[in-house]
Amino acid sequence: MVAQDTAVVERTRTARSTAPAPRTPRGRRPGPAPWLLLAPALVVLGGLLAYPIYQLGLISLFHYTQAQVSGGEPTTFEGLGNYAELFGDDRFWQVLRDTVLFAAACVACTLAVGCALAVLLTRVRAVPRLALMLAALGAWATPAVTGSTVWLLLFDADFGPVNRVLGLGDHAWTYGRLSAFFLVLLEVVWCSFPFVMVTVYAGIRAVPSEVLEAAALDGASQWRIWRSVLAPMLRPILVVVTIQSVIWDFKVFTQIYVMTNGGGIAGQNLVLNVYAYQQAFASSQYSLGAAIGVVMLLILLAVTLVYLRLLRRQGEEL
């Protein structure tokens, strides 16, 4: 069995190495035409993103509360004082840790479900495939507020069908810290896996059938074909869906806010987005909320830079 799996890997490497590499002209600099074509989009993005980011950073450097919003007191420059207060707060580090762990769990589950269903789509007939695609796209198109409300009804302690089927009685899922996070995770995965499924399925369909047939003839199992043949060939696609899932799940707000009623009992289910909302609007500490937003922006920017670096390493043309 080990020899057969080794033969599968060697066949795949030979097929990939003999494939013609794309030719890219070197020593030729692009003219101004690409920038002229991108100019309208850059102007729109500059107005929609650059100015709000500038205002966010500016507010984070001042003492900005409800009194300043109402014009009753002048704003005072704090410099990095808001960030020092934020980083010195143990609650912030706890929320940051919970956010990272929750986002990592959501990304892992989303990728697992999406990839498994993408492989399943290649194994079923046309009618079941169409039904699964329509059901998945329906979940993807459902607004976050609507989906969160439906999941709350499904897991309701008094009228929800899930407790009746599982025999849990009047168990309240949103009262416990871990059970509430688990419930939100299910909803996030439910509305996120269709993107991964459709993207990976399109990538699998683009893989030459001869490679898969050779692996099957050599006796490789389905798991071995995925791990040694499909996964290496789909690596650029998997990197894209992973990074996008990280960005989406790290800044989850609606599901947590709706399903845990603003962060759970005593704030036990807070994530950074909800924590920033509470600081800015519930406590009227707009400067602290802006500081949290800047920290989130820097974290996601670092993730994006890692994504671009991985694409460059894989020879993608940016």
Q: Tell me the C-alpha distance between 250 and 273, whole Å.
A: 9
- Residue 118, token pair as written in the block: 């993408």
Instruction: Give yes or no for residue 155 having a pLDDT over 50.
Output: yes
Looking at residues 177-197, what average pLDDT do you find?
94
Looking at residues 15-39, what average pLDDT do you find?
63
pLDDT of 73: 72
- Is 9 buried (19+), middle (13-18) or exposed (0-12) by CB count in 10 A? middle
pLDDT tens, position by position, 92-145: 999 999 999 999 999 999 999 999 999 899 888 989 999 999 999 899 999 999
Q: How confident is the model at residue 22 (pLDDT cuts 50, 70, 90)?
A: very low
Instruction: Give yes or no for residue 296 having a pLDDT over 70.
Output: yes
pLDDT of 228: 80
- Which residue type sits at 150? V
Radius of gyration of the chain (CA): 24
Dmax (CA) for the chain in angstroms is 78
Q: Return the minimum-mean-pLDDT range out of 155-164, 231-240, 244-253.
A: 231-240
Q: Return the minimum-mean-pLDDT range out of 167-171, 181-185, 261-265.
A: 167-171
pLDDT of 13: 53
Phi, psi of 63 (to 5 degrees): -85, 100
- Residue 225, token pair as written in the block: 């074909």
175 or 73, greater pLDDT: 175
Enumerate domains of the chain plus CATH numbers: 44-313 (1.10.3720.10)
**Please, what is the average pLDDT of the chain?**
84
Say what the pTM is: 0.81
Instruction: Give yes or no for residue 271 having a pLDDT over 70.
Output: yes
Instruction: Give yes or no for residue 64 having a pLDDT over 60.
Output: yes
Beta bridge partners of 62: 77
pLDDT tens, position by position, 79-96: 899 999 999 999 999 999
